[in-house]
Amino acid sequence: MQLLEVLIEYAKSSLNRPFSYSYKGEKELSKGIRVLVTFNNRHLVGYVLNVTKTDKTIEELNQESGFEILEIEDIIDESPLLNDELLALLDEASSYYLAPKISFLHAMLPPSLSPRKSSLKAPRIAYDYFYEIVNDDEENLTNKQIELLRFIKREGRVLKREVSKAKYVLKMIETGHIREVKEEKRRLKIPDYHYEEPPELTIEQIQVIEEFNKSEDLVYLLQGVTGSGKTEVYLSLSEQTFAQGKSVLMLVPEISLTPMMVEYYLHRFSNHVAILHSELTPAERYDEYRKIARGECQIVVGVRSAVFAPLQNIGLIVLDEEHTESYKQDTLPFYHAREIAIMRARYYGAKVLLGSATPSLESRARGSKNVYHMLFLNKRINDQKLPKTKIVNMLDYHNIDRESYIFSHALREALHQTLARNEQAILLINRRGFSTHVTCRNCGHVFKCPTCDIALTYHKSDNMLKCHHCEYVEPLSDNCPECGSSYLIKTGFGTEKIVEEVKRLFPSATVLRLDSDSAKSRRKVPEIIEAFRKKQANVLVGTQMIAKGHDFPDVTLVGIVLADIGLSMPSFRSSERAFQLITQAIGRSGRKDKPGYAIIQTYLPSHYAITFAARQNYELFYRKEMEMRKLQFYPPYAFLASVTIKGRNEEHVIANAYLIADYLNEQLLEKVQILGPSTPYISIERGFHLRNILIKYVNRELVQSVLNKMQQLFSFNNQYDLLINIDPYNF
């Protein structure tokens, strides 16, 4: 008999331990496979952590353990799902982030291979069936058979569904003239790209590549101004790595940037490229994952989750726009792709390259201390100058256009001149929808999300109110639900309102919108970007999706409609995020042979994040922000960990939050600050009440040890869930 240690599919801290099951069959089972089990009278999928053989009877084992050891119901996999490196990564990552191993398995594997019951109904391998020639001798064949034989011979091979003459086919298979073959189908259709010769490198790019190659360091931070050619550095280093027979993992922060980066890599590496991101269908992800695991692709391009791609012999991992917060997972397990990449690189002896025009303060501080190897690209390609910028104070009513409370005189005039020159403009507003609030003028009622208690945003395109946190939606009613009044007012504005305003002020303008609403269909993102690149529109309105990585040669104007969105958010990162977004957005202008211009509209014209971004001066911002972080004891001067208590009953949540805070205060004394329990900005999430405890510390080992003990002590209470987030972003 074989004794199995099995993880159950639920990602709860209280279940983060193996449960014992038996197997009396003849197959030799191994760790890393999925099995079907009964747990608490439910049929669930489990993941096998260990297998041991025993000569003891089930009765003896039950007596020793003190509980009944059930037999597994079925075996799902014949071989392990993860290779040795990914198994080691599973242990390291779950230990570092104090997250249940099963939650990392859910993140690492595609839906079809995930250890959860839904995977049993997920897509499996799909095949195409072909006919091909075995013997082209036409003797003794009928005219119809000869016609079919010549058709297959001319085409080389023919899909089975393209041949309707079944009786002739069967006869010719019997006579050995043709045969049927099946081939696994790749459901993700990737167009063929011809090889493109790389452009001539600049002196700076050559120096960066040479320095990268000479060094034996693990992690490199490439800080390059917008338009300096960081992508070409990634491609050149990828070619070197590929030529050495090693694999490359290329990560981008946004799905909207994936098509462009995929295109760059397909032009260089053709069919050696696989794509992984969450917008693929489960079937497409399954096919891509298996293709990578079989070693058929040595280059993977994708977003955060692609960091777990089953590549072997990795030589290079690149994180483009490394500062972007989307590299940090905001649900369990709360991993950061950068740290996972470093873990994988360390295993293979590979190198990690982080690239950004505006590096995160943590990465830049590590670069300053030589923890990361700093590399610089200080000039744009062809020595093109950075855009000229103008800050417009929207508090001064003289600056506001009489016909539009959204646009200043300066932005409207600049947009008019840009369109007159047949050039293109980008307008950034980091807020989607039409209006941010809908309020009853009679009684003051604000339409709020019933599960999150935050104001719903009005979307004019479908006349719906939407929660941008939990995606709750409801139709906009004609009357107030509180007093019945029909006097409803809409305040604030987002991308939809900007599009309407541009069309009203410039009727001849062709406007495209790119935000997470317009890009809900995964085909829309590349279509919108390509249409704008081909000048099928002269104005592109969007959120932060348009601010990073794009290269539009005819864009000469960037208008940041409201630069201080986010500066009022209760987060120590708010200034950094604002600076990065403004800097990146400005960098979309004047990237080729035409000079660029940017206008920044703001109600906080003297805020250092805005003034330094307008000057494109990262160094001054870095120094100023580091002063603020040091005073407040925030990263990079401290590590952070958050503990979230989440439950249906608010009283239970509050009471237990104080118990946990008291425990942490007793256990942690030296160089540790414990803040809370506090009520988060969004205090209700899908009907669950939340309370947070934030820990600031310098001794990572001590705090993680205490958090591990706390997890074991407090996670078995069914009144709440306990979530630990190591290195949280949103505080």
Give me the phi and psi of 667, to 5 degrees please.
Answer: -85, -30
Element holding 560 (H helix, E strand): strand 555-560
**Residue 357 predicted with pLDDT over 80:** yes
pLDDT tens digits for range 674-715: 998 999 888 888 889 999 999 999 999 999 999 999 998 998
pLDDT band at 14 (very low <50, low <70, confident <90, very high): confident
Q: Where are the domains of the chain?
A: 2-84+109-121, 127-184, 203-381, 384-434+493-629, 639-726
Query: Looking at the predicted structure, is the pLDDT value of residue 99 above 80?
Result: yes
Which residues in 9-104 belong to E strands, given as ranges? Answer: 19-23, 34-39, 42-53, 70-71, 74-75
Q: What CATH superfamily classification does 203-381 receive?
A: P-loop containing nucleotide triphosphate hydrolases (3.40.50.300)
- Give me the percent of the chain exceeding a pLDDT of 90: 68
Side-chain half-sphere CA neighbours of 25 within 13 A: 11
Higher pLDDT, 234 or 182: 234
Q: For residues 105 and 110, what is the distance between their CA atoms, to the nearest angstrom?
A: 9
Confidence of residue 520 (pLDDT cuts 50, 70, 90): low
Question: Any idea what the Cα angle at residue 597 is, between residues 592 and 603, rounded to 5°?
Answer: 145
DSSP state of 384: P
Does 359 sit behind a cis peptide bond, omega within 30 degrees of 0 on the bond before it? no
Distance CA 300, CA 317 (A): 10
Does the pLDDT of residue 519 top 70, yes or no? no
**What CA–CA distance (Å, rounded) separates 303 from 178?**
44
**pLDDT value at 522 more than 70:** no
Token pair of 361, please? 């303060």
Per-residue pLDDT of 582-638, as tens digits, reads 999 999 998 888 899 999 999 999 999 999 999 999 999 999 999 999 999 999 999
CA-wise closest residue to 184 among 135, 128, 134, 263: 128
Strand 539-542 versus strand 511-514 pairing type: parallel
Two tokens at 542?
């969007």
Q: How confident is the model at residue 480 (pLDDT cuts 50, 70, 90)?
A: very high
Residue 57 is encoded by which pair of tokens? 């009877």
Distance between CA atoms of residues 462 and 517, nearest Å: 11
Instruction: List all residues 6 or more positions away from 390 whose beta carbon is below 8 Å from its beta carbon.
Output: 410, 597, 598, 599, 600, 614
Reading the block at residue 355, the tokens are 């690239």
* Helix residue ranges, H only, 218-332: 230-243, 258-269, 282-293
Top-confidence range, 142-146, 406-410, 430-434? 406-410
Largest Cα separation within the chain, whole Å, is 93
Domain 639-726, what architecture? 2-Layer Sandwich (3.30)
The residue ranges of DSSP E strands in 193-235, in sequence order, are: 219-224
Query: Given a cut of 80, is residue 672 above it in pLDDT?
Result: yes
Closest CA to 188 of 311, 74, 275, 65: 275
CATH 1.10.4100 assigned to 2-84+109-121: no
Tell me the torsion sign for CA atoms 199, 383, 361, 389: negative
User: Which conformational region is residue 285 in: left (phi greater than 0), alpha (psi within -120 to 50 degrees), or beta?
Assistant: alpha
* Beta carbons of 168 and 144 less than 8 angstroms apart: yes
Residue 332 has pLDDT above 90, yes or no: yes
- Please tell me if the domain spanning 203-381 has the same topology as the one spanning 384-434+493-629: yes
* Tokens of residue 80, six digits: 């392990």
Does the N-terminal peptide bond of residue 253 adopt cis geometry, omega within 30 degrees of 0? Answer: no
Give the Cα separation of 575 and 607 in Å (integer): 9
Backbone angles phi, psi at 682, to 5 degrees: -105, 105
Q: Is omega for the bond preceding 475 within 30 degrees of 0, making it cis?
A: no
Task: Note the pLDDT of residue 556.
Answer: 95
Residue 409 tokens read as 């005189």
Options 3.40.50.300, 1.10.3720.10, 1.10.287.610, 3.40.1390.20; CATH of 384-434+493-629: 3.40.50.300
- Given a contact cutoff of 8 angstroms between Cβ atoms, the answer to whether 495 and 432 are in contact is yes
| Nearest one of 254, 324, 328 to 729, comparing CA atoms | 328
Q: Put residue 593 in one of left, alpha, beta given phi > 0 → left and psi -120 to 50 → alpha.
A: alpha
* Number of Cβ atoms within 10 Å of the Cβ of 466: 19
Length of the chain: 731
Q: What is the pLDDT of residue 671?
A: 74
Which pLDDT score is estimated for 521? 62
Quote the pTM value.
Answer: 0.91
**HEC letters along 222-249:** EEECCCCCHHHHHHHHHHHHHHCCCEEE
Token code pair at residue 635: 């990263």
166-219 pLDDT, tens per residue?
777 888 888 888 998 988 888 887 777 778 888 999 999 999 999 999 999 999
Q: What is the pLDDT of residues 240-270, one digit of tens each?
A: 999 999 999 999 998 777 778 888 999 999 8
Q: Which residues pair with 362 in a beta bridge?
A: none
Distance CA 283, CA 187 (A): 7
Question: Whose CA is closest to 443, among 491, 493, 481?
Answer: 481
**How confident is the prediction for the chain on average, in pLDDT?**
92
Q: Where are the alpha helices (DSSP H) in 53-186?
A: 58-65, 84-97, 101-108, 143-155, 166-174
For the stretch 642-670, pLDDT in tens is 999 999 999 999 999 999 999 999 998 77
Cβ(590)–Cβ(384) under 8 Å? Answer: yes
**545-560: b or e for each residue (b if 16 or more CB lie within 10 Å)?**
bbbbbbebebbbbbbb
Residues 6+ apart with CB under 8 A from 359: 221, 223, 322, 323, 367, 618
Q: Determine the Cα–Cα distance for residues 440 and 272; give it in Å rounded to an integer.
A: 58
The token pair at 485 is 């009044």
Question: Which long-range contacts link 214-217 to residues 24+ away (Cβ below 8 Å)?
Answer: 215/373, 217/351, 217/372, 217/373
What DSSP string describes 185-203?
A: ---S--------PPPPPPH
DSSP 611-653: HHHHTT-HHHHHHHHHHHHHHHT-TTSSEEEEEEEEES-HHHH
Token pair recorded at residue 598: 């940017």
Closest CA to 283 of 468, 440, 172, 119: 119
What are 284-288's contacts with CB under 8 Å, separation 24+? 284/187, 284/188, 285/110, 285/111, 285/112, 286/110, 286/111, 286/112, 286/113, 286/122, 286/123, 286/124, 286/125, 287/126, 287/184, 287/185, 287/186, 287/187, 287/188, 288/186, 288/188
The answer to whether residues 560 and 512 touch, using CB atoms and an 8 Å cutoff, is no
Q: Is the pLDDT of residue 453 over 90?
A: no
